[in-house]
């Protein structure tokens, strides 16, 4: 596999960053994940962190070096994350469970699969336009689908932030899966929280990703989204991958990895795939990790 990848996250106008992002790859399979902890519920950042840990740990155990069933993996991984969040609630005797929306993707053998719950989105960009994107599990999207509101009404709708599906809810999440989609050289997959897509329209998203080198596009995109949101801007997180057919400046080749090896930016803890959730990571530790990951990616891309 040959690809270019970048991830970035900014706090915006909030007191803490409840978004989490990460990727992992073996020689034959690439995992991408963005989770947006829901601020209206207790410890949304924990739900997002547990989600990345659960998905990353299962990927490490299952990609040998390819996944036998990418779609099935995504379904199992998000359900595992949901169960880990509920276990965390039980272990800590919380009055309610932490919750998070999530979008995850697998790229393998030139094809992409993705899954989501809630309003974290994936955009598939091709030839300067949105080729396809996920549909939010939200009140506004439901009203739009039923023809009860017009497209131009959704941005200012009073219930635009009402999410109908997530991980950590008392109800089983509905994991929506799409794939397998054959990728072309130059295709981009953008995974992002609503702090990005809620502040920028499709034209801004496409232009922000495709008109620049990827290591410059990621930071500019999330900072533009945060600036657009003003003093009350939401956390803004984006993970972008460009699929390559040949080596280009700053690109990554997984062919260099030995069989059984994995590269990851996900802090997965020490638990095995079948263990319960790992210990909570502090906000300061996570912010330091994000800074270290960002610096490492920039150093690698500049080689």
Identity of the highest mean pLDDT range in 85-99, 141-155, 238-252, 271-285: 85-99
Nearest Cα to 126, choosing from 198, 78, 191, 185? 185
Least confident interval from 45-59, 124-138, 166-180, 205-219 = 205-219
Burial code of 23-59, b = ≥16 C-beta within 10 A, e = fewer?
Answer: bbbbbbbbbbbbbbbbbebbbbbbbbbbbbbbbbbbb
pLDDT score for 252: 87
The tally of CA atoms less than 13 A away on the side-chain side of residue 47 is 30
**In this structure, what token pair is assigned to residue 101?**
């929306």
Share of the chain above pLDDT 90, in %: 65
Residue of 193 and 145 predicted with greater confidence: 193
Tens of pLDDT, residues 189-237? 999 999 999 999 999 999 999 876 888 888 899 999 999 989 989 999 9
Which distant-in-sequence residues (6+ apart) come within 8 Å of 119 by Cβ?
36, 101, 136, 137, 138, 141, 163, 194
Q: Is the pLDDT of residue 106 over 50?
A: yes
Q: Tell me, what DSSP letter sits at residue 143? A: H
**In this structure, what token pair is assigned to residue 195?**
């702090």
**In this structure, what token pair is assigned to residue 259?**
């069989």
Question: Where do the H-state alpha helices sit in the chain?
Answer: 44-62, 70-91, 139-145, 194-197, 202-210, 214-229, 283-301
259-268: average pLDDT? 88
Least confident interval from 81-90, 148-157, 221-230 = 148-157
Spell out the domains of the chain, with CATH numbers in brackets.
2-301 (3.60.40.10)
Tens of pLDDT, residues 34-69? 999 997 667 999 999 999 999 999 999 999 999 999
| Ramachandran assignment for 98, one of left (phi > 0), alpha (psi -120 to 50 degrees), beta (any other) | beta
On whether the CB atoms of residues 221 and 205 are closer than 8 A, the answer is yes
pLDDT score for 214: 83
pLDDT score for 21: 96
């Amino acid at each position: 596999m040959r690809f270019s990848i970048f991830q970035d996250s900014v706090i915006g106008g909030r007191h803490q960053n409840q978004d989490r992002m990460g990727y992992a790859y073996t020689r034959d399979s690439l995992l991408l994940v963005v989770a947006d902890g829901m601020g209206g519920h207790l410890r949304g950042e924990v739900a997002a962190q547990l989600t990345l840990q659960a998905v990353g740990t299962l990927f490490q155990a299952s990609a040998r070096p390819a996944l036998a069933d990418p779609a099935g993996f995504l379904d199992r991984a998000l359900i595992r994350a949901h169960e880990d969040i509920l276990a965390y609630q039980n272990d800590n005797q919380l009055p309610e469970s932490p919750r998070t929306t999530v979008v995850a993707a697998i790229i393998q053998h030139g094809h992409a699969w993705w899954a989501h719950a809630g309003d974290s989105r994936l955009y598939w960009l091709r030839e300067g336009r949105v080729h396809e994107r996920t549909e939010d599990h939200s009140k506004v999207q439901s009203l739009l689908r039923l023809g009860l509101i017009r497209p131009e009404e959704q941005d200012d709708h009073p219930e635009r932030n009402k999410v109908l599906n997530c991980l950590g809810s008392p109800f089983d999440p509905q994991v929506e899966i799409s794939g397998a989609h054959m990728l072309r050289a130059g295709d981009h997959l953008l995974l992002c929280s609503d702090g990005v897509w809620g502040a920028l329209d499709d034209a801004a998203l496409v232009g922000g990703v495709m008109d620049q080198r990827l290591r410059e596009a990621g930071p500019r995109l999330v900072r533009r989204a945060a600036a657009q949101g003003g003093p009350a801007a939401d956390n803004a997180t984006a993970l972008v991958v460009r699929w390559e057919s040949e080596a280009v400046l700053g690109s990554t080749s997984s062919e260099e990895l030995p069989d059984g090896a994995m590269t990851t930016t996900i802090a997965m803890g020490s638990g095995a795939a079948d263990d319960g959730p790992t210990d909570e990571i502090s906000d300061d530790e996570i912010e330091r990790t994000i800074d270290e990951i960002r610096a490492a990616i920039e150093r690698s891309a500049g080689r």
